Chain A
């Protein structure tokens, strides 16, 4: 079974702090993703990465950055946390190879619920 592990289930941070959310996958997937989920807004894509050191902006990248130094690990960084970044953050991996026609599902971690006070 595919395993996507997010380092924390719950996190409480103060406004202005730098926050790191970590995600590790064990299936050698090329693609990794960060989404946030808010009531009434559903899941929205923040950033994704299709290879080590490669990244692409999603729909709502403002206020976030990412790091992919190793294939299995994808980090989401909040440079200066703000209260409007209080949310559930979901990491995913999978989706096939951009260079091929193979179509495979994304697999999600269980999420990190971040509260910024």
Chain B
């Protein structure tokens, strides 16, 4: 699976949009971009995934660049409960496992 690069930490004000970047410059054509988050003392929570089109669900939006070498997870109106470690993962279609990196520690400030 392709390696991802994320900033180790970010801050965002409550109520603002949180934009979390991820670089995956060696991604292959059949590899999906997945985002998970982990709130302290809980298991990782699935947020969203996509292949090449932008995706949106009730939790977040995923913007993937046209060349697919990077993506951005957007939390449109961040709350204090969004404070967590966010993991960007690239996973081949049909691959069973996920390989986690170190993620981005996002802190939402009041």
Contact = CB atoms under 8 A, between A and B. Distances in A.
B54 interface: no
A100 interface: yes
Interface in B26-52: 32, 34, 41-46, 49
A61 interface: no
Classify chain A's interface size.
20 to 34
A103 B96 contact: no
Nearest to A41: B102
Interface string A83-102: 00000001010011010111
Contact of B32 (A42, A92, A103): A103
Nearest to A45: B97
Contacts of B98: 43, 92, 95, 106
A108 B96 contact: no
Nearest to A43: B100
Classify chain B's interface size.
20 to 34
A46 to B, nearest CB: 11
A110 interface: yes
B96 A98 contact: yes
A58 B103 CA distance: 21
Contacts of A96: 94, 96
A110 to B, nearest CB: 5
Contact of B46 (A42, A102, A107): A107
Contacts of B34: 105
Interface of B: 32, 34, 41-46, 49, 91, 93-103
Given A98-B94, A103-B49, A106-B98, 14 more contacts: A42-B100, A42-B102, A48-B97, A95-B95, A98-B96, A100-B94, A101-B93, A101-B94, A103-B32, A103-B94, A105-B46, A108-B43, A110-B43, A111-B42
Interface of A: 4, 31, 33, 42-43, 45, 48, 50, 58, 90, 92, 95-96, 98, 100-103, 105-111
